[in-house]
Structures are given as C-alpha cells and as structure tokens.
Amino acid sequence: MTTLDYPSTTLTRLSDQQRDELIGQLHTDGFFVLPGLLASDLTHRLLNAIDRAAGEARTKSPGRQSVKISNIVDVDPVFLELTMYEPALQLAHDCFGPLFQLCQSNLVSRPRDHRIDDFLGSSPWHADGPRPGMFPTVDGVMGLHYLKFGYFLTDLTHSTGGSLQVVRGSHLRPELDRKKHGEFKINDYREELVQIDCPAGTVIAFHQAQWHAAPPNQSDIERKNCYISYCPTWMKPLDREYPTEAQLAGNSPEERWLLGEPRPAMRWWLPDSQDLMRTQRFARDSDRSKSVQTVRYE
C-alpha cells in the first residue's frame, strides 16, 4: 500500500506550475492531493451545516446513523460557497476549458455503524457513473467525463475511520477489470492501493473512472466529508435539475454559470464572448486575455 504526504498550510490559489504537476498526476495516477488545506473557517462552517443536515435526516429515519445527502447546494449556502473553491475551479478549467459546470454535490456523515450493506455505512469498490461500463472508451480507456473533489473535514490520520481508498492508475483500465464484485479481490492490487488517511481540511480529486472504495468507520471520530464534481456544460448534471431564473436571483455571475442558468441551447456548447468571461478568472495567467479575444461564436 502506498503512503502519501499531506499538506499543513491553507491553499487559496494554485500556480501554473502546481497545476501542471496535478494534471500530470491525474493523467498517470487518476487522482491527486491538493497542496494545501481548506481554510479553517470554511471547514468549521461546513461541519456545522453537515451536522444540521445529518441531524434532520436521522430524525426522519430513526436507527440509521450513516447519512448521505445529494444536491447539497440547495441545502445550505455554505455548500454553494464550497463549489466556488478557487483551486478546484482552476483545475476544472484545465480539464474542460471555460465550458464547465457543477455536475454533482453530496455530503457524507459516517459514524461507527454496523450497517455496511449499502453506500451509507461503507462503499464497496467501484468506479463512478452513471453506469461507468457504458461510457465510451478509446482503446479500452475511458475519457474524463467529470472531475470529482473530495473535501475531508474530520481527522482521518488514525487510519480506522473509513478513509477513501483508490487504486493508482485504475482509471486507465475497465471498471474492476470487468470482474464481478464477488470475484474482485483488492489484494490482487495491493501494490497500487492508496489509503488516504489525511488530516482535516485535505482535498482530494479523482477521475470518475478511478476505482475507489471506503470501508466502514471503525473509530470514534465521525467521518464527515463533501464531494463536489464538475463536468462540461454539454453533459447533464447527475443529481439536480437546472434552476429557474427566479431561483438564481441574488447569485453571482460565476455561480449562475456553474449552476446552469437558462440560456439558448446552442450556448451550452458554443459560447459567446460574454460566456467565456464567466470562468476567465480560473484560466491560466498566460491564457486569460487570449481565451476571450481569439474565440468568436456570436
């Protein structure tokens, strides 16, 4: 099993060199660890929002301790703030260009829980979809359809909290090597196995085709995290419908773009110059003016 180095300082924006290194890791390994932590204030507010949402969910389903909630951008404003985390948007811009949007958002609150028969108490080995085996491949390799960021908000360095696990480089192979879940043995891949026992505030990103899992939490520290993913604007989001103009009242231009504001069908894949300005802040420094001036679709 591979061990990783984790950051200890806060990250607000990536340099072009850092972006090159991380995108290189994404291509070869299928995942990367951002070189900095979430700000402690944001982490604190996210934890409070998770506690409120998970408490309400447990009230509605007595006996169930592990909680997963989808489309969290509609649950609390702090989750929308998280979707605007600048380093993540810089990397989404690197992967998809200026035409990217919010694909999926969810939270997980997982205490020690004896129920492990579903994706709440634990997550078995899989690649994300929907139906990942049906996504198109080229020479057996699946392209990047969406980039997923995991924000781990509680301490996992004790190694018994159900940390995210990945198989390095598995995004370049068919899901679980086309084995059925009952036939798949992770020990066959132990040299490529990475268990992400990270400190609170760590951010992980991975390719949707990466094999990953999370065993049950066996510790007394409740595992709390959020997942936010981004995809091209011509791909439909996985867990939400596009908002109406009234629902977007008060949102910033960047938030409106990421959430999927109403616009003519053509502009979901052929932007005009004003569309290109929406995500220009997340482009490379050398590309900011060039990307707007050289593309003319209107």
Task: Count how many domains the chain has.
Answer: 1
C-alpha 242/C-alpha 261 separation (Å) is: 7
Tell me whether residue 9 is in a domain.
Answer: no
- Is residue 186 situated within a structural domain? yes
280 within a domain of the structure (yes/no): no
The whole-angstrom separation of Cα 281 and Cα 287 is 10
- Domain residues for the domain of 68 are 16-114+137-243
In a domain, 228, yes or no: yes
Distance CA 110, CA 68 (A): 8
Q: Which of 165, 168, 248 is nearest to 213 (CA)?
A: 165
277 within some domain = no
138-166 tens-digit pLDDT:
888 999 999 999 999 999 999 999 999 99
Q: Tell me the pLDDT tens digit for each residue of 210-253.
A: 999 999 999 999 999 999 999 999 999 999 999 999 999 999 99
Residue 174: CATH number of its domain: 2.60.120.620
Closest CA to 210 of 270, 269, 170: 170
Assigned domain for 269 exists:
no
For residue 250, being part of any structural domain is answered with no
User: Taking the alpha carbons of 278, 284, 289, 293 in that order, is the dihedral positive or negative?
Assistant: negative
Q: Any idea what the Cα angle at residue 226 is, between residues 222 and 229, rounded to 5°? A: 155
**pLDDT (0 to 100) of residue 118:** 67
